[in-house]
Structure 1
Amino acid sequence: MAALAFNLQHTDTQSKARVGTITTDHGIINTPIFMPVGTVGSVKAVTQAQLKEEIQAQIILGNTYHLYLRPGTEVLEAAGGLHKFNGWDRPILTDSGGYQVFSLAANRKINEEGVLFQSHIDGSRHLFTPEKVMDIQRSIGGDIIMAFDECPPYPSEYIYAKKSMELTHRWLDRCFKRLGETPDKYGYTQNLFPIIQGSTYKDLRTASAEYVASQQSTGNAIGGLSVGEPEQMMYEFAELCCDILPVEKPRYLMGVGTPWNILENIAIGVDMFDCVMPTRNGRNGMLFTSKGIINIRNKKWATDFSCIDDGIPCPTSQYYSKGYLRHLFVANEILALQIASIHNLAFYLWLVTEARAQILDNNFVSWKNDIIPVLKQRL
């Protein structure tokens, strides 16, 4: 049992892009990294074997809100934690459920104690406090667990954003206190990452980043971005936060994003990313490829028998043709969702792996500037 360790191996000479390794009790994560989202303990339409062998995932996410409601902490504890329950023996990060709770705007009430909300499943009422969220995440058993925060919407009035940030900081103190009072549950270390908030106000973001940095946690997260603000604003505030956060700790930008969002944020010093976009868009027939974006439902692909993407080292991407995958989507065949999800995730993992190689070669900026227009084009 050892606390999470981050080894910063190299910083690009032309940007703030970094290469490192995160060591957890369930294995090593090479950064920069993309983390597939397994909200309810499963990455949608993808098996754990496929995550390992084809996608090359090094860490996946679980979500406190969803896992608390179903299957519940009693089941997870009886199984020995989420790793044993879902058969994933590599690192897991658990999101605190703050974002999910606050997205239920019509069905929740926030006060100093926590958030009272109604389940989206059966309408039952529940109270999430910082203490309870820490207890739930102990039961789930993530290697990295997130602080309970309030994520304000965009845009937010200054006074609301300030009060929200201050509440997030007070909740963070309670998260650390509760974690200090409770033991690790399954024989390995759980590491708490605090979350920076402050909406799109420079003074609030600065204050929040400084407060989070002062906690000297094993890693830090930037929250409340990619919630509707313009892309350039996202980059501006993510960079402001990165410049304040300690160099020797991993930086996690939550819920981001498109392939080009990821590359631009790597350039300013972000190490960790997650987003539902590759699987959600994949299930709707949008494929991200090394040559551009494909809407596989378009008739133009019906007689294209070339493979989905020969530019990435994924057996699924190289085995199935575009024409066959389009046929599966048009026929509403379940296999379509699986192939598209595997491909998109494999593409995202290829992208961050390639970014890592380019940073090590001090060629990241020119590579990024060349590849982003390619990735954005509609084929």
Structure 2
Amino acid sequence: MKRKRVFLSLLMVFLLIASVMVVAGCSKEKEVDTTPTTRTITDMAGREVTIPAEIKSLATVGPGPVLNSLIFAVGEGDKIVNGLPEFARTERWKYQHKFAPHIKDRPVVQSASFDPNVEELLKLKPDVVFTMEARGSVEQTAKVMSNAGLPTICLVWTEPEEVKQTIELIGKVLNQEKTAKEYCKYFDDTVARVNKAVDTISEEKRPRVLHCNVKSMSSPHTITEWWISQAGGNSVTKEARITENIEFSMEQLLKWNPEVVVVSSPDQVDLMYKDSRFKDISAVKNKRIYPTPVGAHIWGNRTAEQPLMLLWAAKTFHPESFKDVNLEAELISFYKKFYKYTMPEEEAKEILNGGPVVTGQKQ
């Protein structure tokens, strides 16, 4: 009888343990089953977009170099599954392939007018597509892709500091919110750092500055007015700029008589020095023609490298006030921290000298 009681007691203990394990297993299984596999994001066009909880791949459609620069800024360039647009498939854009080597041979997913190639995108099966205003309506482009079953996030960047909102949204989508906040802090700290020095510079010492493509006699992008002003210059196109890109005549250029000219490519520096039409311009006389740096994108245009452009412009306009700023070190640190790229010093120098030169390329 005693042995029977012991046996029953042991049996009950065994059954109790077994039942606990079954309950625990069921609870664990239930927990896994209820883990969200999707989430909803509100993009910069106010659209609600359902995306996977974890993003393993992405595509960029629109102004490719700009979009990629933003993705690089949160360290997620390795997730891009498409290649650059046709216009950017030259040596001029080689740093795109330094930052994301795998995209060099990836397919083009848009037409020359930035219309998405939905068929190609569907083959690539990205978890999310990022697009930004280029030609036409960004919402319309997003609608085409969304209707094809491609979760699409609209980015909007019209005001200079909207780059921070853009980076924050990308960080949220790609689960890189910490890096996005660090980028925004770097942006604000850089602006404050430059402002502190520029605020001590008198108005008469702030040069008249023109940012232009001298071959087409045009000044690109409204953002020009922001970085010139922030860096302690007076933009000669500020009053004339009523559209994103403006054209001007030789007569107008001579009237502006800029003291500093920032051109779109290194070859345009020599063009201005050698062409007699420009000989009476102050910037030519005083050898103050400079090519805008080019990394992931042309720094004078919209790019995640905007804080670097501000530092470069401030040091270029006011070398004495910023003599302690080591631009090469700034580049190496920035690209390491945000782009996850270890940049050799010679590459930093090339970027600061206007980036790769492509003979005969239209700039």
Normalising by the residue count of structure 2, what TM-score does the alignment of the two structures yield? 0.28
Considering only CA atoms, is the larger Rg found in Structure 1 or Structure 2?
Answer: 2
Q: Give 1 or 2: higher strand fraction.
A: 1
The structure whose RCO (Cα within 8 Å, separation 6+) is larger is: 1
Q: TM-score, normalized by length of structure 1?
A: 0.27
